Amino acid sequence: MDARQAKLQKHRLRMTSLTVVNTLLQGVIFGLYAWAGEVSWGAMIAFTAVSLGTTVFFTAAVALHWNLRVKDSWLLNAQLITNFAIGLTFLAVVPQLALMFLVSLLVTFNFAMMAFTTRQFLWAWLAFGGLTAVALIAGRPRFASLAPTDFNMFVMWLFFFLAVRRLAVIGSQFSSLRGQLSEKNRQLTESLERINELATHDELTGAFNRRRFMELLMEERERAKRTHEAFSVAIFDLDHFKQVNDRFGHLAGDAVLREFCELVRQSMRTTDRFARYGGEEFVMLMPATTQADSAGVAVERIRQAAETKDWNPILPGHGVTLSAGVATYRGDESIEELLARADAALYEAKHNGRNQFVVRP
């Protein structure tokens, strides 16, 4: 038995044990009325024996794991049908206690609602109404009101007091289920957010991944077609990054990539979108850049920040520089053509000695 099944069995045993307690309490109420002479001792003994016998059987079935041989719903349905059958039978046999049996059946029905579907609830409600009507008609010849003595009023109060307790237990079950559902929803929301994060962001640096960047780039291109507002793209490459990995190790290289992304986030505009393009290459989308020169200002700010940053905590005695290529979108070109021009500008910057950027209007 796995942990989940063991937890369910523990819950089932607790609930069936609670049924035993409720049965004993009903037997006590029945016995008080028998002691007062309102009903016969034979009816009281029969009710207690049948009710207690069936509830003990169901408790033993759970404790001995017999219920695991059948579907879980079978156990619940068997308990409900048994309780309804007992209640309806004694409602017809002892109609003087009709109010007690009707309330007990109503509490049982409320408990059943936790497991019923809408369709099952409708049929159960109709069956409940029809069978209770039959039981009341069957007991009508012997129907009589209880004498309004102090003792009978006390027993009536005691019965309702205990019935409210049963309803409170059912309410706590609903509250517990609602709490569990809220927790499951919270966990599901967190999981979906995490999945979305993994699907759209680079796990190492936290920047957008290439796939998400291409989606953003296509969206910006469509927007530019509608508004005729230009935008630019920059491709960054960390200079001689292979030497960093060879000299300081890949862990240090990963730390450099993370630090560089944080540096860019602090330097770029809130409207810009930054992504890891692959390896040590990164790309940035700059909306509403009316000309390549304005995009160049943003790229130069990032280049200077990388050049002047103190990299000694990660790379003792070693600095980090970058090369970049910038291209501004032309209304008649594709995304691939735009990126190709930015990549050609990057190649030119590297060919000219690195640690610089080139703009392709």
Q: Give a yes or no: residue 203 inside a domain.
A: no
Lowest-confidence pick of 103-117, 207-221, 347-361 = 103-117
Both 178 and 311 in one domain: the answer is no
CA distance linking residue 271 with residue 24, whole number of Å: 70
Q: Which two tokens stand for residue 238?
A: 């960390």
SS3 of residue 204 by DSSP? coil
CA separation for the pair 88, 222 (Å, rounded): 71
For residue 101, being part of any structural domain is answered with yes
pLDDT of res. 295: 84
CA–CA dist 325, 344 (Å, integer) = 7
Look up residue 230 and give its DSSP letter: -
Residue 261: its pLDDT value, please?
Answer: 95
Does the pLDDT value for residue 292 go beyond 70? no
User: Based on the domain organization, do 167 and 222 belong to the same domain?
Assistant: no
Indicate whether 77 pLDDT > 80.
Answer: no
User: Is 132 part of a structural domain of the chain?
Assistant: yes
Give the count of domains, the chain: 2
Task: Work out whether the CA dihedral 62, 63, 68, 69 comes out positive or negative.
Answer: negative
Do 256 and 315 form a contact (C-beta atoms < 8 A)? yes
Structural domain harbouring 289: 210-360
Give the CATH number of the domain where residue 291 resides.
3.30.70.270
Phi then psi for residue 282, to 5 deg, are -135, 155
Partners of residue 233 on adjacent β-strands: 285, 327
Strand, coil or helix: 228: coil
Helix (H) or strand (E) segment spanning residue 282: strand 281-287
The model's pLDDT over 12-42, given as tens digits with 9 standing for 90+, comes to 777 777 777 777 888 888 888 888 888 889 8
In a shared domain, residues 176 and 224: no
Residues 261 and 112 in one domain: no
Least confidently predicted of 54-63, 72-81, 296-305: 72-81
Contacts of 39 (CB under 8 A, 6+ apart): 30, 33, 94, 96, 97
C-alpha to C-alpha distances, 252 to 312, 323, 330, nearest whole angstrom:
11, 20, 39
Residue 354 reports pLDDT greater than 90: yes
Helices vs. strands in the chain: H and E counts, helices first: 11, 5
Tell me: do 222 and 325 sit in the same domain: yes
In which element (H, E) is residue 324 found? strand 322-328
The pLDDT confidence band at residue 293, using thresholds 50, 70 and 90, is low
Is 311 within the bounds of a domain? Answer: yes
Give the integer Cα–Cα distance in Å for 213 and 193.
Answer: 18
- Do 86 and 175 have their domain in common? yes
Asked if 23 and 68 sit in the same domain, the reply is: yes
Give a yes or no: residue 126 inside a domain.
yes
Distance of alpha carbon 354 from alpha carbon 348, whole angstroms? 9
pLDDT of residue 88: 84
Q: Are residues 183 and 264 in the same domain?
A: no
150 and 225 in a common domain: no
Q: What are phi and psi of 314, to 5 degrees?
A: -100, -45
DSSP tag of 66: G
Does residue 196 belong to any structural domain of this protein? no
Query: Quick one: 18 and 161 in the same domain?
Result: yes
The answer to whether 81 and 39 have CB atoms below 8 angstroms apart is no
Of 161, 191, 221, the position where a domain reaches its end is 191
80 & 24 share domain: yes
Contact 324, 357 (CB under 8 A): yes
List the Cα angle 272/245/283 in 5-degree steps: 15
Q: Are residues 7 and 116 in the same domain?
A: yes
Residue at which a domain ends, from 191, 221, 239: 191
pLDDT tier for residue 303 given thresholds of 50, 70 and 90: very high
pTM (two decimals): 0.56
Asked if residue 200 belongs to a domain, the reply is no
